[in-house]
Amino acid sequence: MKKKSYYEVLGVSENSSEEEIKKAYQKLALKWHPDRHPPEKKAEAEEKFKEVGQAYKVLSDSEKRRNYDQYGSESSFGQNASAGGFGQGESIFKDIFDTFFGRGTEYSGQENYFGGQTRVQAGSDVLINLSLTFKESILGVRKKISIDLEKACNVCKQTGAATPSDVIDCSTCRGRGVINTVQRTILGAIRNQVTCSQCQGSGQRIRKKCGYCGGKKFTKQKEVVELSIPRGIQPDKRLRYQGVGNDGWYGGEKGDIYVNIKVKDNPYFQRKDNDIHVNLPISFLDAILGGNLKVITLEEVEKIEITPGTQNGDRLILRGRGCYLGINSKVRGDFFIWFQVILPKKISGSTIEMLHRLQKETSWNPNEEFVEKNKDIANK
């Protein structure tokens, strides 16, 4: 069966203009892209898509088209087919959507397949580490940080050149961004395309670099960014702030800032799961008599009441005053207060006399009670 010519594949005549060929290709590429077809027809669509892409690759290049018109044959299609297969066609399909809808691609600083226009691309992301106090990690905070960001060069408009006339076509690939190679095999000549190593596929060279950015198309600038840290952030978590990172390519969106959260150790507050634990020193008199005491919480210094006879190691729990259970959660863990009864190292003579008198008047002696009840414990 006779294979179709490239013109027949695209449904155009041999006298068609470049614009007519391009429009025909765009229409057929959209029609036959495999992602637009059910699984049972995907293989057929993929083959059609590759045929359309190969036909356009030849007919959109004036030199290739001239050679095809002059030397083309029925076997030319098979010999000229790219070794890249469907993957290369998919890249071309991305260019169609860029042209129709203005969508950016993941490739930066290169010419667009159809119009020679630079492609819009989002800026790169930034990763930083940020240390928070214990209180900041629980209750949230707004932080202003100074960070070096990449800013699009406003002098050269991201061309990298001193003037527009300093952007010239690459002499190696003649402005096409690719170089054609021919490999002779026992099966015939296989034509391949490789990215031009001199211009990295852009098709352009810079004769004189921009004096402001040095041809890099970006400049490093220090900028103060205010970040809102939500309450309830867990230690060693990462936060994402969209659209505040490095500038994009050619008007593309800014990248994101990712923040690795580190929480500083606190000598007083200790976190266990979603609860907070503190050790609170109290005098032995307050432990004996009870009464009102003060405790430091995350929000303020609060008054608490302890019962008479409080022992060393006893605890008091403030419900719902601990850590939030997640970012912006309304539910909190508990706040544990552990009492440490402190004895004075030095007391006055009058106090000693008072305590001796109290010791004689009371019949309570925990030491004697313990020894009497457990004098045979060594034999057990």
What confidence category does residue 276 fall into, taking pLDDT thresholds of 50, 70 and 90?
very high
Beta bridge partner(s), residue 291: 306
Question: How much is the CA Rg of the chain, to the nearest whole Å?
Answer: 39
In degrees and rounded to multiples of 5, residue 300 shows phi and psi of -170, 180
Average pLDDT, the chain: 83
The tokens 């004895």 sit on which residue? Answer: 343
What confidence category does residue 97 fall into, taking pLDDT thresholds of 50, 70 and 90?
very low
Higher pLDDT, 34 or 78: 34
pLDDT score of 114 more than 60 = no
Where helices occur in the chain by DSSP H, the ranges are 6-10, 18-32, 39-59, 62-71, 76-80, 86-101, 134-139, 284-289, 349-361, 366-373
Specify which of 40-49, 74-83, 206-215, 348-357 reaches the highest per-range mean pLDDT: 206-215
For residue 270, which amino acid is it?
Q
| 8 A C-beta contact, residue 56 and residue 81 | no
- What does DSSP assign to residue 108? -
- What does DSSP assign to residue 310? P
> What is the pLDDT, as a whole number, of residue 116?
36
What confidence category does residue 199 fall into, taking pLDDT thresholds of 50, 70 and 90?
confident
d(CA 267, CA 18): 75
Q: How far from 344 is each of 210, 280, 352, CA to CA, in Å?
A: 76, 16, 12
Beta bridge partner(s), residue 223: 147
Could you give the angle at the alpha carbon of 12 between the alpha carbons of 20 and 74, nearest 5°?
A: 135
pLDDT over 90, % of the chain: 42
> What is the pLDDT, as a whole number, of residue 305?
95
pLDDT score of 137 more than 90 = yes
pLDDT digit string, tens, across residues 151-184: 999 999 998 999 988 989 888 888 888 888 777 7
The residues near 357 (Cβ < 8 Å, ≥ 6 apart) are none
Edge-to-edge strands, sheet with 238-241: 126-132, 257-263, 238-241
Residue 224's Cα: distance from chain center in Å?
19
pLDDT score of 120 more than 60 = yes
| 8 A C-beta contact, residue 25 and residue 10 | yes
pLDDT over 70, % of the chain: 85
Beta bridge partner(s), residue 93: none
The answer to which of 67-81, 119-133, 198-212, 257-271 has the lowest mean pLDDT is: 67-81
Burial of 323 from C-beta contacts in 10 A (0-12 / 13-18 / 19+): buried
Q: Is the pTM of this model over 0.75?
A: no
d(CA 335, CA 322): 5
By residue count, the chain amounts to 380
d(CA 59, CA 48): 17
> What is the pLDDT, as a whole number, of residue 364?
79
pLDDT digit string, tens, across residues 336-372: 999 999 998 888 888 888 888 887 888 778 888 888 8
> What is the pLDDT, as a whole number, of residue 229?
93
> What is the pLDDT, as a whole number, of residue 118?
57
